[in-house]
Structure 1
Amino acid sequence: MKRVTQLAGPVGIVFIVVMLVVPLPAVVLDMLIAFNITAALLVLLTAIFIHRPLDFAAFPAVILVMTLFRLALNVSATRLVLLDGYAGKVIDTFGHFVVGGSLIVGLIIFVILLVIQFVVITNGAGRVAEVGARFTLDAMPGKQMAIDADLNSGLIDEEEARRRRAEVHAEADFYGAMDGASKFVKGDAIAAIVITLINLIGGFAIGVAQLGMPMGEAVQTYSLLSVGDGLVSQIPALLLSVATGLIVTRNTGNEDMGSDIMRQIGRNQTPLRVAGVAACSLCLIPGLPKIPFLLAGGLMLLASTRVPKEDEADEAAPASAELAPADSPEVLASEILLDPLGLELAADMIDLVDPASGGDLLDRVKALRRKVATEIGIVVPPVRTRDNLELPPRTYAISLFGVEVARGEAPPGTVLAIGDFLGSLPGQATQEPVFGLEAKWIPAHLRHQAEIGGATVVDRASVITTHLAEVVNQHAARLLGREDVRMLTDVLKRTHPVVIEELTPTQLSLGEVQRVLQALLDEQVSVRDLVRIFEALSLRAQATKDPDALVEAARTALGPAIVAPYVQDGTVHVISLDPLLEQRMLEALRSTDQGPVIALDPALGQQALASTGRAVAAAENLGVHPVLVCSPQIRSGVRRMLAGVAPRLAVLAYHELPPSVNVRSAGVVTGEHALAGGA
């Protein structure tokens, strides 16, 4: 059966082409005309009963094939009319019985059918198809972005996303094809007029010149045959035109067109009653027949009695609303949940997520999630990407749990040039959003010129992705939830069951483990090596459950990994504390609910902070990224003290520096008050 369906199309096309050349007997022509009318009726009924246009995606090709088939029948009929003066029973019947054997009546009916098809249906369907194709193509980026946003947020899986993307592309292809297919129908109507005129003129000439028929007889014979041929062709053409109009005007629904129309028209009682009363009122006009209007009005009034009243529908609405799945507590609870991580784009930045325009932002965001997982060891929640019409043009915003935490600009048609000598390049001066470097948004076509000038050029998607990565790194601790910790422990349990069984829940709860991991992430420490972290926590938890002590135990186990990002050419550049200042800090160490803090004299604290800032700036001017080292007793307190003035400065304990790394001094933090106190 499959083989037959595969060959039906090619064989049919070849047969249609043969019909254009090879003469057909009148009997065969009758059968093909009957098949043409039946097939057109089948297409019309199919268009009526489908639920959505894509359910009949082959319709544009069907129009082309049936139009070609109908034109081939016209050619075969014309050949028989001009050669034999007879083109089969079907055409003869249409020429004599349907139009009553009257040439004038036949021509009038033929012209009316042409006007209905060409002027009304075909033009309207063509316009709707054109507008539908345009709107569908314009809506593609937004639909694709919505699909990717649902995928990133976890609402759908990859298979469903692929299905929806395929449906969006199929819809665009369908309406684009329908825009062209409507031109076939329009051209078919024009061809029918031309063929009929050729039959009339050619038949009259052949009948008089070749067959010696009287002019009146020639006109009567060939005109009726020509009109019969035209009517036979126009009936299926009209059916296809109506089917085309139904397809392009059909909206997606859950039922067929007839059910939708009857349900929507008969939904309200008032319109039916008003229409029934109005029809009955027309009987009051003198001279009008009363029975037709009374019958039509009575049917309307009878139908209105089957429709529930508006107040009954309103009373039933709350009950149905309570039962509606969309209002169930589970659905409402899911809707009020905030997205952990969101990316909003202004309306003029949709091209960044439109693959047709070369946009790959969503793919980069997915790659970012993988990159963060491999670098810091947590699974970042899906990034909900959507457009926001309230954002100013060329603006993007990054939100965390529904609260905006960062915002930037990425003007369309530009790239970001980062460097010191950008004055000669046109564009908008700005700062790189992550490191605050001097930069400028320049036209994209000047990219090569900027690179030649020594600037670092970054495209818009990379700027947004880098900014998003920085936000994720800064707020990684907030993004690590209790369920994420459960997932990480479940994954680790598959390979290291003893480690998990010994630690949780025997010694530490998931909440306590989460607190330790969050503290590590707050200091930009990767938690990928969960095995070492959990083993260290298991040993330390036997003596204490103090969070800071647990964090320090985990840091000790991760020492080489913590230092590794700051090693340059085998050397780590360190900023140390003056011994007297470190002693004063140790004396000022106080325990609080938030952990140990250093309660220094304000003047001494300001001096220490200023000295730290100068040491960091001096080291960065030399092209190195320093770390600050101190005794393990005050490390966490020093980190809290410096968090506001030097958030990127890593604070390490002496024992966290591995012996295999060369240590080079990059400065010393001093305090005049500390020296005075020591004296």
Structure 2
Amino acid sequence: MNGITLPSWLSGLSGKGGSALAAPMIIILLLAMMVLPLPAFILDVFFSFNIALSVIVLLTSLYTVKPLDFMAFPTILLVSTMLRLSLNVASTRIVLTEGHTGGAAAGKVIEAFGHFLIGGNYTVGIVVFIILTIINFTVVTKGAGRIAEVGARFALDAMPGKQMAIDADLNAGLIGEDEARRRRSEVGQEAEFYGAMDGASKYVRGDAVAGIMVTVINIVGGLLVGMLQHDMGFAAAAKTYTLLAIGDGLVAQIPSLIISTAAGIVVSRVASDQDIGTQLVGQLFAKPQVLYITAGIIGGMGLIPGMPNMVFLLLAASLAGVAYMANKRLQQPAKVEEAAGGPGAAGAPAAAAGAEQEEATWQDIMPVDTLGLEVGYRLIPLVDKTQGGELLKRIKGIRKKFAQEVGFLAPPVHIRDNLELKPSAYRITLKGVEVGSGEALNGQFLAINPGMASGTLPGLETTDPAFGLPATWIDASLRDEAQGMGYTVVDAGTVVATHLNHLITTHASELLGRAEVQALLDHIAKESPKLVEDLVPKVVSLSTLQKVLQNLLIEGVHIRDMHSVIETLAEHAMHTQDPNDLTALVRIALGRAIVQQLFPGATELSVMTLDNRLERLLMQAMGAGGDGSGIEPGLADTIAQQAGQAAAQQEQMGLTPVLLVPGPLRALLSRFLRRALPQLKVLSHSEIPETKTIRVTSLVGAPG
């Protein structure tokens, strides 16, 4: 019957219930070791297990590919530290009570460490113990703790950017919901892991301090117990108890040093798809030139008289052999490529013929990139991570800034090289169509004249591709001189990034597709689900909402305040579904934000307005044509000419060119003047907040 009960009990422990009982059993075991006296044999078992545990942890850390693959390490660090301290307490008890009987009183493990490792000389033992403790406490543990601290700080700082990158990939359709959820969880776990490692490293440092104190206490206590209680001489007591104390300390410090090394390996490794051993062998012995040079240096040292010549020459020959094998291994892929029909091989025509025989499929239709950047071959270093290209980081910053300012996430920019372009040229495409191009001389700087620069600079004269300002490409040595003359000096990467940012902002309405609108609604629904649910599609359709938002973006109005947009549409969409009418109502609701965007911090608004007679004529034209098609061509030319002159005067005075008109005329004049005067903004009276005062600087259409 007992034979049946025991296996069933063991099988219960091996299941999920056993895993749940593991932690309480370990805590009870540690407490029992501190309180209950243990025989020497049991101590030997636990000391051996402690050493085996430390080796297992070290090997596991070596074969770990990512830190998160060993997430339990901080907890293991704490448990192993408590195990060593519990063993210290148990061994101290048996050393002080039974130490006078001989070196085997505390078990064979402590005796072996006290006699075999240090030769039975307690002076040597003390020195070895102090050295091991200093290495553990000052070098390994302190370094691992600092790396964990910095890693935790960097992981926390990088969390928002990583989360935004995951959201961007999700919105772009590159990953699904499950993959995004897994990545978010991994980002959070990484930050928690480094934070836990930062705290757990303090346990190891405390363990090293405790090891020193326990050893000193054992030596002093052993002397007092041996001399006062067991009538031993000072020399005999010192030798017996010091050897036992040093053996006990070494049994604890060596596993502690191994665990500390494992902690340093886990937190100091760089993320890769290879374990530490593969990385060390693959990177340290991968370059034959390095190994040949090292073999030559070591061989030269082996020829010096008085040196251990045989050792140095054997080592140099071994390094030369490893270098020869590495060089031979590097040459093999080229031969394989040539044999398999690589570039210029006889197999290429056959492969091409096989490709021609394949039937066309739907996979041959490649989707058009919403945003694209094509570069010539001289600009490839700007977009190549391996060559330190900074343009990729700047493009990420552009998309983040655009999302924060405009109110939605722009599609990712797909970058590719184009050998058909000039070597230093680039081209920006929108839905496969070129919307901007320019040249950027990598390694030089573009000195842009903002209108106040004095003097000229030697170099290639050109224009700023983003804003059309006169500029000159100059050498890096003239950068400080150009800045002193009043030029704005930027590098080639900044030129491309600024041009891209300008075009993304200009074409924001075309970048807001239905997918982006839906993603924006999903983002708002996380905080206000009822608000979104009541609007789309019950009150307005997704296409109508998209058209309203596009109308706002066409005129440069940011859509960050989506709550006001949704509330306005929910209030008025019952009466009209016309996107233009709804846009006018939304603009009134966003009036304060629009004015703040055009006149930041100003209480008095300097604007242009229409002459009363011209205003009446336009109102009559609105009544005749409905949409303003009744405006005479001559009157239209006069309005455009005078509006352009008034806008130029506004800009010369350092003011934003804004035309203030009645509400019914705003949409008409905005569409009419937008093509000729893109810098001119048209506002209606109803969009101006009551707290602002208006100062009219010029009248459009006034006689003379």
> Fold conserved (TM > 0.5)?
yes
Aligned match of 1:487: 519
Letter of the structure 2 residue corresponding to residue 573 of structure 1? S
After superposition, give the CA deviation of every residue in 1:143-168 in whole Å (9 maximum; x if it has no partner). xxxxxxx98977589989x9999689
Query: Is residue 575 from structure 1 mapped to residue 657 from structure 2 by the alignment?
Result: no
Aligned match of 1:515: 547
Aligned match of 2:292: 183
Q: Contact conserved, 2:657 with 2:680, CA < 8 A, in 1?
A: yes
Partner Cα distance (2:489, 2:315) in 1: 65
Letter of the structure 1 residue corresponding to residue 673 of structure 2? L
Question: Counterparts of 1:124-135 in structure 2 under 5 Å?
Answer: none
Aligned match of 2:375: 345
Partner Cα distance (1:442, 1:500) in 2: 53
Letter of the structure 1 residue corresponding to residue 632 of structure 2? D
Q: Contact conserved, 2:370 with 2:411, CA < 8 A, in 1?
A: yes
Question: Secondary structure of 2:478's partner?
Answer: helix
Aligned match of 1:361: 391
Question: Secondary structure of 2:559's partner?
Answer: coil
Question: Counterparts of 1:523-562 in structure 2 under 5 Å?
Answer: 523-562=555-594
Partner Cα distance (1:449, 1:188) in 2: 48
Question: Secondary structure of 1:505's partner?
Answer: coil
**Of residues 489, 504, 508 in structure 2, which corresponds to 1:472?**
504
- Structure 1 474/164 Cα, relative in aligned 2: closer, same or farther at 3 Å? farther
Partner Cα distance (1:171, 1:518) in 2: 55
Aligned match of 1:628: 659
| Bigger-Rg structure (1/2) | 1
Aligned match of 2:331: 249
Partner Cα distance (1:401, 1:669) in 2: 39
Aligned match of 2:647: 616
Q: Contact conserved, 1:574 with 1:629, CA < 8 A, in 2?
A: yes
C-alpha deviation, 1:469, in angstroms = 1.3
Question: Secondary structure of 1:247's partner?
Answer: helix
Q: Contact conserved, 1:598 with 1:637, CA < 8 A, in 2?
A: no
Letter of the structure 2 residue corresponding to residue 183 of structure 1? Y
Letter of the structure 2 residue corresponding to residue 251 of structure 1? P
Alpha-carbon RMSD across the aligned residues, in angstroms, is 4.9
Question: Secondary structure of 2:287's partner?
Answer: helix
Question: Secondary structure of 1:251's partner?
Answer: helix
Q: Contact conserved, 1:596 with 1:636, CA < 8 A, in 2?
A: no
Q: Contact conserved, 1:577 with 1:629, CA < 8 A, in 2?
A: yes
Aligned match of 2:695: 664
Letter of the structure 1 residue corresponding to residue 437 of structure 2? R
Question: Counterparts of 1:68-87 in structure 2 under 5 Å?
Answer: none
- Structure 1 242/545 Cα, relative in aligned 2: closer, same or farther at 3 Å? same
After superposition, give the CA deviation of every residue in 1:49-69 in whole Å (9 maximum; x if it has no partner). xxxxxxxxxxxxxxxxxxxxx
Partner Cα distance (1:659, 1:519) in 2: 25
Q: Contact conserved, 1:576 with 1:667, CA < 8 A, in 2?
A: yes
Partner Cα distance (1:315, 1:436) in 2: 49
Question: Counterparts of 1:58-77 in structure 2 under 5 Å?
Answer: none
- Structure 1 543/389 Cα, relative in aligned 2: closer, same or farther at 3 Å? same
Aligned match of 2:680: 649
Partner Cα distance (2:354, 2:558) in 1: 58
C-alpha deviation, 1:172, in angstroms = 14
Aligned match of 1:589: 622
Q: Contact conserved, 1:395 with 1:410, CA < 8 A, in 2?
A: yes
Partner Cα distance (1:606, 1:538) in 2: 40
Question: Secondary structure of 1:338's partner?
Answer: coil
Q: Contact conserved, 2:605 with 2:693, CA < 8 A, in 1?
A: yes
Q: Contact conserved, 2:372 with 2:430, CA < 8 A, in 1?
A: yes
- Structure 1 636/316 Cα, relative in aligned 2: closer, same or farther at 3 Å? closer
Question: Secondary structure of 1:380's partner?
Answer: coil
- Structure 1 667/175 Cα, relative in aligned 2: closer, same or farther at 3 Å? farther
Aligned match of 1:499: 531
Aligned match of 1:215: none
Partner Cα distance (1:433, 1:609) in 2: 26
**Of residues 495, 505, 517 in structure 2, which corresponds to 1:463?**
495
Question: Secondary structure of 1:393's partner?
Answer: coil
Letter of the structure 2 residue corresponding to residue 244 of structure 1? A
Partner Cα distance (1:600, 1:390) in 2: 47
Letter of the structure 2 residue corresponding to residue 375 of structure 1? E
Q: Contact conserved, 1:352 with 1:461, CA < 8 A, in 2?
A: yes
- Structure 1 242/547 Cα, relative in aligned 2: closer, same or farther at 3 Å? same
Report the identity percentage: 34
Letter of the structure 1 residue corresponding to residue 671 of structure 2? R
Partner Cα distance (1:670, 1:7) in 2: 84
Partner Cα distance (2:630, 2:284) in 1: 72
**Of residues 462, 486, 506 in structure 2, which corresponds to 1:454?**
486
Q: Contact conserved, 2:292 with 2:319, CA < 8 A, in 1?
A: no
- Structure 1 576/235 Cα, relative in aligned 2: closer, same or farther at 3 Å? closer
- Structure 1 171/579 Cα, relative in aligned 2: closer, same or farther at 3 Å? farther
Letter of the structure 2 residue corresponding to residue 179 of structure 1? P
Partner Cα distance (1:608, 1:596) in 2: 17
Question: Secondary structure of 1:491's partner?
Answer: helix
C-alpha deviation, 1:178, in angstroms = 1.5
Letter of the structure 2 residue corresponding to residue 617 of structure 1? A
Partner Cα distance (2:681, 2:701) in 1: 18
**Of residues 457, 460, 469 in structure 2, which corresponds to 1:437?**
469
C-alpha deviation, 1:177, in angstroms = 4.1
TM-score, with normalisation over the residues of structure 1?
0.56
After superposition, give the CA deviation of every residue in 1:269-300 in whole Å (9 maximum; x if it has no partner). x99xxxxxxxxxxxxxxxxxxxxxxxxxxxxx
Letter of the structure 1 residue corresponding to residue 595 of structure 2? V
TM-score, with normalisation over the residues of structure 2?
0.54
Query: Is residue 374 from structure 1 mapped to residue 407 from structure 2 by the alignment?
Result: no
- Structure 1 590/495 Cα, relative in aligned 2: closer, same or farther at 3 Å? farther
Letter of the structure 2 residue corresponding to residue 247 of structure 1? R
Aligned match of 2:214: none
Partner Cα distance (2:356, 2:381) in 1: 43
After superposition, give the CA deviation of every residue in 1:76-110 in whole Å (9 maximum; x if it has no partner). xxxxxxxxxxxxxxxxxxxxxxxxxxxxxxxxxxx
**Of residues 411, 414, 420 in structure 1, which corresponds to 2:444?**
414
Q: Contact conserved, 2:376 with 2:425, CA < 8 A, in 1?
A: yes
Equivalences, count? 443
Partner Cα distance (1:171, 1:510) in 2: 56
Question: Secondary structure of 1:527's partner?
Answer: coil
Aligned match of 2:264: none
Partner Cα distance (1:489, 1:451) in 2: 46
Letter of the structure 1 residue corresponding to residue 590 of structure 2? L
Partner Cα distance (2:376, 2:400) in 1: 26
Letter of the structure 2 residue corresponding to residue 582 of structure 1? E
Partner Cα distance (1:541, 1:438) in 2: 48
- Structure 1 631/443 Cα, relative in aligned 2: closer, same or farther at 3 Å? same
After superposition, give the CA deviation of every residue in 1:252-276 in whole Å (9 maximum; x if it has no partner). 9xxxx9xx89x969xxxx99xxxxx
Partner Cα distance (2:53, 2:374) in 1: 49
Partner Cα distance (1:347, 1:490) in 2: 41
Most deviating of 561-570 and 472-481: 561-570
Letter of the structure 1 residue corresponding to residue 287 of structure 2? M
Structure 1 residue ranges without an equivalent (≥5): 9-149, 196-201, 203-225, 227-231, 272-309
Q: Contact conserved, 2:292 with 2:323, CA < 8 A, in 1?
A: no
Question: Secondary structure of 1:385's partner?
Answer: strand
Q: Contact conserved, 1:585 with 1:634, CA < 8 A, in 2?
A: yes
- Structure 1 372/317 Cα, relative in aligned 2: closer, same or farther at 3 Å? closer
- Structure 1 179/577 Cα, relative in aligned 2: closer, same or farther at 3 Å? farther
